């Protein structure tokens, strides 16, 4: 149980900078998720925290200790690997006992801790088996068990669920969340699956090319992405992002693109005055774009645009529509009962209260209505 | 299913029927191994059976010989030179294989470490193995020369010896010499094979072990060695078999001397059977270790099957 502080952490492999001046803090008992596309430096960051790689620059501390140059075994951390990394020649019991016996715990204490962990994870009946006689999910549990018997200050998980099938992944996700509550320790968890990040994290650190993009609570990243990268990365299907121009039109501010012209909500008009005739990126999530039928009651004419349907994907709970909007494609959702087929032109309601604006110039930062609210 | 296929074959012509049979009984598989099988039968099985027959006959060069049962074997057991040779063979094999195993393991670990010019080293390590055996052994013969060779010269100038050592005529040094040459030659096989084994151990296991608190030494004994065990046993097995039947080194360096103290089974067999003309006795010498080796192989293979695999 401890706080993990990472300051200006940098790792270079030759000319590649895998991690670039990364700083974040995982508070005591926090479930911090590192997320980002493949190759963004998530595993490298975790290896640096674990001490499996030597940092090129920066500092790491766990609790009140500087651990930047300590050996992995002295950092009081435990790690769960993507491919589990169970010792193939040892049975489950020996796998879990290894770390403890290396640290000189007594036989009795080791036995007690393993029984306790096995109880929590439901693997009591597997203790005598070799890893190759276990299913993926069972190996996963053993790998977690090997970490928790050590009772470390910080747990490190590197994509622990990515080798499991979809159903098991959902189940293990819930179990890991529960385990976190039960163990009450700090966890740093790497994944590239944003659903895992959204559901499990207390806070998320989003990386791209080794550079931290945004740190925040899951909902914060979802509702106030700091740039178009975050906006596009968090959320499935991803946020629609289209180039647009802000125009003033008889007292209203409008967002204009090649496919539509829509008014900015009245309460933000003042604030967006400064953007008049500027090029921006307009962003809106699919769930805030609703495909409807002509003559539907709830349609306020001002926020409706008629767009052509390119593709209809029925997902049961809802229909996902791909719409043509000038040269761009927009994704919208609709009621599964909506009679719609490709080629139709339908009214689409834009929930402009949930719109986002970003600067056109890289790194396409968020433009807030009320700066620093 | 069955009914269906019989009725359809019945209505078929002869060619399609052959084709079906070909596929159904995996005839193609046997056809592919047939050439190799023939070669093995002619070049391995026939001489082997022939050797067994010869070892039970009193054949001399040029004579047919008649069946004498285990006479040759009994003669051998009572023969002092043979008993000495048997002891030489065991000593030679034991030390050569042990040293090769330890040095081979060390070399493999070194080659597996992240070092500069790794590829050059990995290639160079194979050299003793690819140089024709006889040629390199002749090179050693020259180096062991007591008067004019580089070895004594170096040792003398380094102050390690005062007088020249007669490497190949001193009983003790002769054995050390042939073991050394055998180790020099066999080391690459160990190093490269064990290196291949090391490379195939997933690096995550070491990461996990480091975090678990195991240092380099405990990593080796608790992770590397157990995982390499099956491979190590196979390598030791192969090496034992080829070492105990070594011929070139002794034939070129010592011819079995001094006083038969470096004779190995192969060289003794050659001397008795071909130089001495007693074919039957020579065959018996070379076959003497066969039952022993069979037992060794059986137990080693059994252990290997019970060994660990990754994953
Ligand atoms: N040992 C290494 N030598 C050279 N480059 C490396 C090394 N390890 C990682 N890299 C590089 O560093 C970058 C980050 O790699 P890292 O493994 O941390 O990515 P990741 O975010 O974990 O990706 P993934 O989701 O695919 O696991 C990549 O560009 C990778 O090629
Ligand atoms: Mg990774």
Tell me the per-residue pLDDT of B244-266, one tens digit each, with 9 for 90 and over.
Answer: 888 888 888 888 878 888 888 88
In chain A, which stretches have pLDDT less than 70?
Answer: 1, 297-301, 370-373
Among B208, B110, B191, CA closest to A88? B208
From the alpha carbon of A46, which atom of ligand 1 is closest? 18
Fold classification of B73-306 (topology level): MetI-like fold (1.10.3720)
CA of A345 to the centre of ligand 1 (A): 46
To the nearest whole angstrom, how far is the Cα of A68 from the nearest Cα of chain B?
A: 15
- Residue in A85, A130, A146 closest to B207 by CB: A85
Give the count of Cβ contacts less than 8 A between chain A and B.
Answer: 64
Where are the domain boundaries for CATH 2.40.50.140 in chain A? 240-359
Burial of B82 (0-12, 13-18, 19+ CB in 10 A): buried
Structure confidence at residue A303 (pLDDT) = 82
B205 vs A85: CB contact, 8 Å cut-off?
yes
Using the predicted structure, report yes or no on whether residue B24 has a pLDDT greater than 80. Answer: no
Residue B226, pLDDT > 90, answer: yes
Q: Closest-CA residue in chain A for B218? A: A102
Protein residue with least CA distance to atom 17, ligand 1: A43
| ipTM > 0.95, yes or no | no
DSSP secondary structure, B71-126, as one string:
HHHHHHHH-HHHHHHHHHHHHHHHHHHHHHHHHHHHHHHHHHS--TTHHHHHHHTT
SS3 A203: strand
- Spacing of C-alpha A298 from chain mean position: 34
pLDDT of residue A8: 94
pLDDT tens-digit map of A20-52: 999 999 999 999 999 999 999 999 999 999 999
Residue A154: closest CA among A61, A23, A18: A61
What's the pLDDT band for B311 if we cut at 50, 70, 90? very low
Q: Using one digit for the tens of pLDDT, what is the confidence trace for A294-334?
A: 877 566 667 888 899 999 999 999 999 999 988 889 999 99
In testing the pocket of ligand 1, which one of A15, A19, A37, A44 has its CB within 8 Å of the most ligand atoms?
Answer: A44
- Position A373 scores a pLDDT of 42
DSSP B109-172: HHHHS--TTHHHHHHHTTHHHHS-HHHHHHHHHHHT-TTT-HHHHHHHHTTS-SS---TTTSHH
H or E segment and range at residue A213: strand A211-216
The rounded Cα A148 to chain-centroid distance in angstroms is 24
Assigned fold of A240-359: OB fold (Dihydrolipoamide Acetyltransferase, E2P) (2.40.50)
- With CB atoms and an 8 Å threshold, state whether A52 touches B226: no
What is the pairing mode between strands A328-334 and A289-291?
Answer: parallel
- Among B178, B161, B196, B220, smallest CA distance to B93 is for B178
Contact between residue A23 and residue A6 where contact means Cβ atoms under 8 Å apart: yes
Q: Are A221 and A205 a contacting pair, CB within 8 Å?
A: no
The confidence score (pLDDT) of residue A32 equals 96
In B, what residues contact A, Cβ < 8 A?
Answer: 202, 204-205, 207-214, 218, 222-223, 226-227, 308-311
Write out the two tokens for A1: 């149980």
* CB atoms inside a 10 Å sphere around CB A48: 24
CA separation, residue A308 to residues A282, A296, A327, A349 (Å)? 19, 18, 12, 13
Other C-beta atoms lying within 10 Å of the C-beta of residue A307: 22
**The pLDDT of residue B3 is above 50:** no
- Using pLDDT thresholds of 50, 70 and 90, give the confidence band for residue B278: confident
- CATH code: domain A4-228 is 3.40.50.300
Average of per-residue pLDDT across B271-289 = 83
Mean pLDDT of B267-289: 84
Decide: A18 in ligand 1 pocket, CB within 6 A: yes
From B189, B175, B183, B190, select the one nearest B250 (Cα to Cα): B175
Q: What angle do CA B132, B136, B140 make, to 5 degrees?
A: 165
| pLDDT at B9 (0 to 100) | 47
Q: pLDDT digit string (tens) for B151-170? A: 888 888 888 888 888 888 88
Nearest residue of A to residue B306 by CA position? A89
Of the listed ranges A270-284, B2-16, B143-157, the one predicted with least confidence? B2-16
Terminal Cα-to-Cα distance of chain B (whole angstroms): 38
Helix axes B171-199, B80-112, angle to 10 degrees: 40
Q: What is the predicted pLDDT for the residue at B184?
A: 93
SS3 state at B305: helix
Query: Greater confidence, A272 or B190?
Result: B190
What confidence score (pLDDT) does residue B306 get? Answer: 62
pLDDT score recorded for residue B10: 53
Chain B within 8 Å of A340 (Cβ-Cβ)? no
Q: Tell me how far apart the alpha carbons of residues A319 and A334 are, in angstroms, rounded to a whole number.
A: 5
- Of all protein residues, the one whose alpha carbon is nearest to atom 2 of ligand 1 is A13
A148-162, A319-333, B112-126, B192-206: which has the minimum mean pLDDT?
B112-126
Q: Spell out the domain ranges in chain B.
A: 73-306
Chain A nearest CA to B242, separation (Å): 30
Share of chain B above pLDDT 90, in %: 27
Place B279 in a pLDDT band, splitting at 50, 70 and 90: confident
């Amino acid at each position: 149980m401890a706080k993990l502080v990472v300051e200006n952490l940098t790792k270079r492999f030759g000319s590649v900078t895998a991690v670039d001046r990364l700083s974040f803090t995982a508070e005591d008992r926090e479930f911090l998720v590192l997320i980002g596309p493949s190759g963004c430096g998530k595993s490298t960051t975790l290896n640096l925290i674990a001490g499996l790689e030597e940092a090129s620059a920066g500092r790491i501390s766990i609790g009140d200790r500087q651990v930047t140059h300590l050996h992995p075994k002295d950092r009081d951390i435990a790690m769960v690997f993507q491919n589990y990394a169970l010792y193939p020649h040892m049975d489950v019991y020996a796998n879990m006992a290894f770390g403890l016996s290396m640290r000189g715990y007594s036989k009795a204490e080791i036995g007690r801790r393993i029984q306790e962990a096995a109880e929590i994870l439901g693997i009591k009946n597997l203790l005598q088996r070799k890893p190759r006689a276990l299913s993926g999910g069972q190996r996963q549990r053993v790998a977690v068990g090997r970490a928790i018997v050590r009772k470390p200050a910080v747990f490190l998980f590197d994509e622990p669920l990515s080798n499991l099938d979809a159903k098991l992944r959902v189940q293990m996700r819930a179990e890991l969340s529960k385990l976190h509550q039960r163990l009450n320790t700090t966890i740093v968890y790497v994944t590239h699956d944003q659903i895992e990040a959204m559901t499990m994290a207390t806070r998320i650190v989003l990386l791209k090319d080794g550079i931290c993009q945004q740190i925040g609570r899951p909902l914060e990243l979802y509702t106030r992405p700091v740039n178009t990268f975050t906006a596009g990365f968090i959320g499935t299907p991803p946020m629609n992002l289209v180039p647009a121009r802000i125009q003033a039109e008889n007292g209203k501010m409008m967002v204009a693109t090649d496919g539509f012209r829509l008014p900015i909500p009245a309460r933000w008009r003042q604030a967006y005055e400064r953007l008049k005739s500027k090029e921006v990126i307009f962003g809106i999530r699919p769930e805030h774009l609703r495909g409807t039928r002509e003559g539907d009651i709830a349609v306020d004419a001002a926020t409706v645009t008629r767009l052509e349907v390119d593709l209809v994907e029925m997902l049961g709970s809802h229909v996902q529509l791909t719409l043509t909007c000038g040269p761009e494609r927009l994704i919208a959702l609709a009621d599964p009962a909506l009679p719609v087929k490709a080629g139709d032109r339908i009214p689409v309601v834009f929930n402009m209260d949930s719109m986002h604006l970003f600067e056109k110039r890289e790194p396409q930062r968020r433009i807030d209505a009320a700066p620093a609210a | 299913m069955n009914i269906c296929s019989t009725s359809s074959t019945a209505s078929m012509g002869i060619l399609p029927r052959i084709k079906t049979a070909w596929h159904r009984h995996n005839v193609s598989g046997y056809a592919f191994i047939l050439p190799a099988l023939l070669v093995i039968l002619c070049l391995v099985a026939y001489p082997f059976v022939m050797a067994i027959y010869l070892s039970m006959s009193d054949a001399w060069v040029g004579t047919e010989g008649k069946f004498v049962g285990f006479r040759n074997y009994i003669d051998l057991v009572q023969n002092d030179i043979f008993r000495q040779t048997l002891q030489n063979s065991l000593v030679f094999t034991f030390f050569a294989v042990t040293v090769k195993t330890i040095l081979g393991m060390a070399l493999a670990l070194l080659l597996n470490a992240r070092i500069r010019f790794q590829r050059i080293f990995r290639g160079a390590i194979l050299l003793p193995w690819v140089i024709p055996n006889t040629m390199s052994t002749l090179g050693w013969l020259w180096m062991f020369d007591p008067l004019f060779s580089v070895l004594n010269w170096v040792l003398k100038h380094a102050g390690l010896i005062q007088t020249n050592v007669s490497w190949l005529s001193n009983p003790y040094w002769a054995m050390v010499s042939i073991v050394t040459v055998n180790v020099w030659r066999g080391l690459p096989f160990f190093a490269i094979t064990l290196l291949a084994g090391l490379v195939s151990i997933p690096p995550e296991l070491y990461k996990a072990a480091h975090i678990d608190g195991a240092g380099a030494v405990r990593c080796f004994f608790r992770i590397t060695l157990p995982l390499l065990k099956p491979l190590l046993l196979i390598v030791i097995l192969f090496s034992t078999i080829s070492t105990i039947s070594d011929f070139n080194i002794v034939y070129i360096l010592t011819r079995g001397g001094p006083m038969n103290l470096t004779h190995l089974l192969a060289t003794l067999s050659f001397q008795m059977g071909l130089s001495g003309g007693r074919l039957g006795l020579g065959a018996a010498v070379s076959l003497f270790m066969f039952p022993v080796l069979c037992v060794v192989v059986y137990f080693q293979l059994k252990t290997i099957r019970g060994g660990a695999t990754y994953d």
